[in-house]
Structures are given as C-alpha cells and as structure tokens.
Amino acid sequence: MHSYQISEMVDAVATALELDADARAKAKAALASYWSDKIAIVWGVGDVQSVHKGLSEDQAINVLTDVLDDHDASLGVRWDTLANKARELYGKPEEGDDDDEED
C-alpha cells in the first residue's frame, strides 16, 4: 500500500474518531506495519467514471462492488474489466466516451 493511501485511511479514521496527533501517528504506524507485507491494487469511483462517462457515484460504486464480487485472481482487474462491468450493468456509455472496447 502506498504511503499516501495509508495517510488517506488515517485521515478518514482520525476525522471520524476525532483523534489527536499522537493517536493519528500511532494509527499511521499500525497501518503501515499491517500493509508492510501485503499489496492492494485500489480502483475508485473516478476510475469507473473515466471509462464509462455519465455514471453517478452510486452507479460507479455498484460497478466496483460487482467487480470485487466477481473477481478472478487469475485474471485480475484491468481497465476493460471496469468498462465491461459498467456496460453490463448500465448499457453503453454516453457519446464522446473514450471507451472503444467492443462488446
């Protein structure tokens, strides 16, 4: 996990729990330690919306959830995985989209 992603996680938790600076530092150290021997590839709403123009945040979250639920570790998740799942759930993207993949 990249350090900026750990910082974003700490910020989210620290804000919700109103953590002071010391607790923030401990949380960051704990997360950094946890992720030190693991990797996670992170896809977000913006990624989905970039391959399928016109989707709402909720629709993009649905795409991400379905991609996660259907994930095949031998294939991984790629840009076309997001585009294909979005098309499956919501039809063709709006005009002007850069998604040129065939069905």
Is residue 75 in a domain? yes
Same-domain pairing of 30 and 49: no
Token pair of 40 as six digits: 């996670």
Two structure tokens written together for 70:
């259907």
Buried b (16+ CB within 10 A) or exposed e, 72-89: eeeeebeeebbbbbbbee
Per-residue pLDDT of the chain in tens (103 residues, 90 and over written 9): 899 999 999 999 999 999 999 999 999 999 999 999 999 999 999 999 999 999 999 999 999 999 999 999 999 999 999 999 999 999 998 776 555 554 4
* Angstrom distance (rounded) from CA 29 to CA 23: 10
The verdict on residue 96 lying in a domain is no
**What pLDDT does residue 89 have?**
97
Residue 93 has what pLDDT? 85
pTM over the 0.85 mark: no
51 shares its domain with 79: yes
Separation between Cα atoms, residue 86 and residue 50, nearest integer Å: 11
pLDDT attached to residue 91: 95
Range of the domain at 14: 3-35
So what's the pLDDT on residue 96? 61
Domain identity same for 65 and 84 = yes
Gap between the Cα atoms of 69 and 88, Å rounded? 14
Q: Is residue 30 part of a domain?
A: yes
74 falls within a domain? yes
Q: How many domains does the chain have?
A: 2
63 and 48 Cβ atoms separated by less than 8 Å:
yes
